[in-house]
Structure 1
Amino acid sequence: MQPDGYHEVEETVRGVLRDVLGIDAARAATFDEATPLFGALPELDSMAVAGVLTEIEDRLGIVIDDDEVDGEMLETFGALVQFSAAKALT
């Protein structure tokens, strides 16, 4: 069971990926917990990561420290949502 607000965080992260990376809404809607991101989405290169994280910070009102950013948090859509939810819902 997910904590209250988890679905909203998930939809926010989905919206950020759609908006920042220019991904079609129908494609973004198919993202699930196991959808691979960094290294699998050509739109999500190292330059785009900063834009995605900045937009997540802005939309969720959180701060992501540089030392928190690693390959695991960007490996899958689920990992990015879980990371974001842990920051936003605590």
Structure 2
Amino acid sequence: MRVHNSQPVDRTDDIETLVRALLRDVLALSQERVDMFDAGTPLFGALPELDSMAVAGLLTEMEDRFGILIEDDDIDGDTFETFGTLVAFLQGKIG
């Protein structure tokens, strides 16, 4: 449930929260674990849960949750490097 108020929403914080939920749900990570992620937290190659099959699942779930289309050309080796690069990727896609 979203709470509407007169305060402007910080778009970066909002997207970070959504990415945390995405990682928690798709990779079956605990909320406590994803809450500790910061921009520099390494993902691909550092999280055993995030392998190439999980990347495919994350991409599909991102398209569904955020109503975006992710082309093969959109993804490169840096996209899943850190929590920050993943957030930046989604910020760019969502606008």
Aligned partner of 1:31 in structure 2 is: 37
C-alpha separation between the residues in 2 aligned to 1:57 and 1:8?
A: 17
Specify the SS of the correspondent of 1:37: coil
Q: Larger Rg: 1 or 2?
A: 2
Aligned length, in residue pairs:
87
Consecutive unaligned residues of structure 2, counting only runs of 5 or more, are: 1-8
Could you tell which deviates more after superposition, 3-12 or 44-53?
A: 3-12
Consecutive unaligned residues of structure 1, counting only runs of 5 or more, are: none
Q: Does 1:82 align with 2:88?
A: yes
Counterpart of 1:31, as a letter, is F
Q: TM-score, normalised by structure 2?
A: 0.85
Shift of 1:55: 1.0
Shift of 1:26: 0.2
Aligned partner of 2:28 in structure 1 is: 22
C-alpha separation between the residues in 1 aligned to 2:92 and 2:10?
A: 12
Q: Does 1:50 align with 2:56?
A: yes
C-alpha separation between the residues in 1 aligned to 2:64 and 2:46?
A: 25
Query: Cα deviation per residue 1:10-68 (whole Å; 9 max; x = unaligned)?
Result: 11111110000000100010011000000000000000001111111211111111111
Q: Sequence identity, in percent?
A: 57
CA RMSD of aligned residues (A): 1.4
Contact 1:33 1:79 in 2 (8 A): yes
Higher relative contact order (CA 8 A, sep 6+): 1
